[in-house]
Amino acid sequence: MVYRSHGVAALILIAACADRGVTPPPMSETSLPAISPSAKRPEALAKMVATALKNAAFRAYLRAQLDASPYPEHKLQFQTFLAANTGRALRQVATENGVSKEALTDRARSAIALEAYFPVPEHRAAWTGDEHVLVATALTDDDPPIAFDTDGRRQVLDPATPPATPVLALVPVETDFSPRPALQACLEDCGSGGTPVPPPPPAPGLYMTKSHFVQDFEGWLKGSPEFEVQILGQKGQTDSLISYQCAGEHAGGPYTFDQNNLDWSGSVLLFSKNQIDQYNAAHPNQNVRVFVVEDDDTACQIKTDPDRFQRLIYAVDSAYNRYTSGNDSSTAVQKYFGYAQSVYNIWQALASLVKSNDELVGDAVKDQVVGSFYPGFNWFVKGENNTTNGWINLVIY
């Protein structure tokens, strides 16, 4: 087996330690209001942006804003981008399409929150700010992207393979666009010299140190994946499951890790020793599932079809006699997260009505239970039809 290792709007550029960043403009009276949750696919907006890209000045402005973005994949929150710099983009897009700023504002208001960026790295690198570009939109990973060229011509793209022409995506927001703090300027002795201070020991608990998945579970128009790990356990004294802790890009504190491709390594807390002890005291002889999702909607909330979740769990439980959970099995001489039998397997989740649903990567099953081993990892991630979708390494500190 081979090992292979989610007032006036102003734009402020900050230079510190040779890094560039941009703080998003504050929302003002010129900004666009809250977004309706009942919006449809924003094809009209995509067409208008594409048509506006006929204008060289608008292309240059858009490219500069994308380049200066401090967010993953140089993303821009679309409605904020329209309002930035006293509505510069709003005016340019409206003018190029022969509509009023008010009409465009209404159109943007009626759309769900959107982000704009080049999801394919090769496209981002190749686009020089010329007219050779498409603007595409889709709501879910499985939707064929609807694209427009700068003449406003509509075409349907392959959802599995991006075209050769660079594609600017206009898709539902997946990114946390909270303001990023400005980088602190380097003072004297920027990280050189002195005696290194060893990091403190990790807080006790269950940690993941490595993960590898066989696919990214993300359509190319949606960019990099956002993997999250959920700790699922008994809901009160019912027969159902709830999430007790999420680890991911937006989880916060020691539960934060950012996996945007198939491989990740490091150390992220999944469930603290205190959480483990509290759970075991409230749920004697019950165990927790370590469950992986690729987040397509609200961070750290599993949104999926409950029936689909149920089919996945039943398939995995049936294959391994329900030994599909785990718990702290540490002894006086060894710290160890061991496999355990599952009892509760009903997930009462609500599928999202607007955005796409999260992809269920799978339930973690100990390699001893699976009866197979993958070098460097000790838990298999089992998905629908008991398919192996990846491997993770779990340790207790």
Report d(CA 106, CA 92) in Å as an integer.
16
Domain contains 261: yes
How far is Cα of residue 132 from the mean position of the Cα atoms in its chain?
Answer: 29
Out of 172, 195, 228, a domain closes at 172
Q: Do 225 and 104 share a structural domain? A: no
Q: Please report, for residues 53, 109, 227, the alpha-carbon distance to residue 297 in angstroms, rounded to integers and kept in the order given.
A: 29, 20, 12
Q: Residue 1: is its pLDDT beyond 50? A: no
pLDDT of 201 strictly over 60? yes
In order, the DSSP letters of 288-299 are BEEEEEE-SSST
Distances (CA, A) of 211 to 82, 264, 289: 38, 5, 16
Asked if the structure places residue 179 within a domain, the reply is no
- So what's the pLDDT on residue 180? 54
Question: pLDDT by residue (tens digit) across 72-118?
Answer: 889 999 999 999 999 999 999 999 999 999 999 998 988 888 999 99
In a domain, 187, yes or no: no
Which range (170-179, 271-280, 367-376) has the least confidence? 170-179
Model confidence at 304, pLDDT cuts 50, 70, 90, reads: low
Do 133 and 43 share a structural domain?
yes
Sign of CA dihedral 364, 378, 394, 286: positive
More confident residue, 73 or 14: 73
Does residue 116 sit within a domain? yes
Q: Residues 113, 214: one domain? A: no
Q: Determine the pLDDT at residue 359.
A: 81
pLDDT at position 26: 35
Average pLDDT for the chain = 81
Same domain (yes/no): 167, 209: no
Statement: residue 188 has pLDDT above 50: no
261 vs 283 pLDDT, higher one: 283
Same domain assignment for residues 157 and 265: no
31-52 in b/e burial notation, b at 16+ Cβ within 10 A? Answer: bbeebeeebebbbbbbbbbbbb
Mean pLDDT of 348-373: 73
Is residue 68, in this structure, part of any structural domain at all? yes
Q: 91 and 240 in one domain?
A: no
Higher per-residue confidence, 37 vs 147: 147
- 246 and 328 in a single domain? The answer is yes
CB atoms within 10 A of CB 250: 18
Region 327-340: mean pLDDT is 85
What percent of the chain clears pLDDT 70, i.e. is strictly above it?
A: 77
DSSP code string of 253-308: GGGB----SSEEEEEEEEEEHHHHHHHHHHSTT--BEEEEEE-SSSTT---S-HHH
In angstroms, the Cα distances linking 349 to 28, 238, 295, 299 are 36, 15, 14, 14
Question: How many domains is the chain built from?
Answer: 2
CA 309 – CA 200 distance, rounded (Å) = 39
Task: Clarify whether residues 233 and 370 are in a common domain.
Answer: yes
Q: What is the pLDDT of residues 154-178, one digit of tens each?
A: 999 998 889 999 999 999 888 878 7
What pTM did the predictor assign?
Answer: 0.61
Per the model's pLDDT, the better-predicted residue between 142 and 131 turns out to be 131
Domain match, 262 and 366 both: yes
Assess whether 168 and 209 both reside in one domain: no
Predicted confidence band of residue 216 (pLDDT cuts 50, 70, 90): confident
Whether residue 147 is found in the same domain as residue 252: no
Q: Is residue 75 part of a domain?
A: yes
Would you give the distance in Å from CA 117 to the centre of its chain? 14
Instruction: Give the number of residues written for the chain.
Output: 397
For residue 159, is it within any domain? yes
What integer pLDDT is reported at residue 204 of this predicted model? 93
Average the pLDDT over 344-364 and give the result.
Answer: 61
More confident residue, 57 or 6: 57
* Residue 113 domain boundaries: 12-172
Instruction: State the residue for tokens 């329900």.
Output: 322
Instruction: State whether 124 and 224 are in the same domain.
Output: no
Q: Lowest-pLDDT range, 106-110, 266-270, 341-345?
A: 341-345
According to DSSP, the residues that pair with 168 across neighbouring strands are: 135
Residue 339 domain-assigned (yes or no): yes
pLDDT band at residue 360 under the 50/70/90 scheme: confident
Say what the pLDDT of residue 28 is. Answer: 34
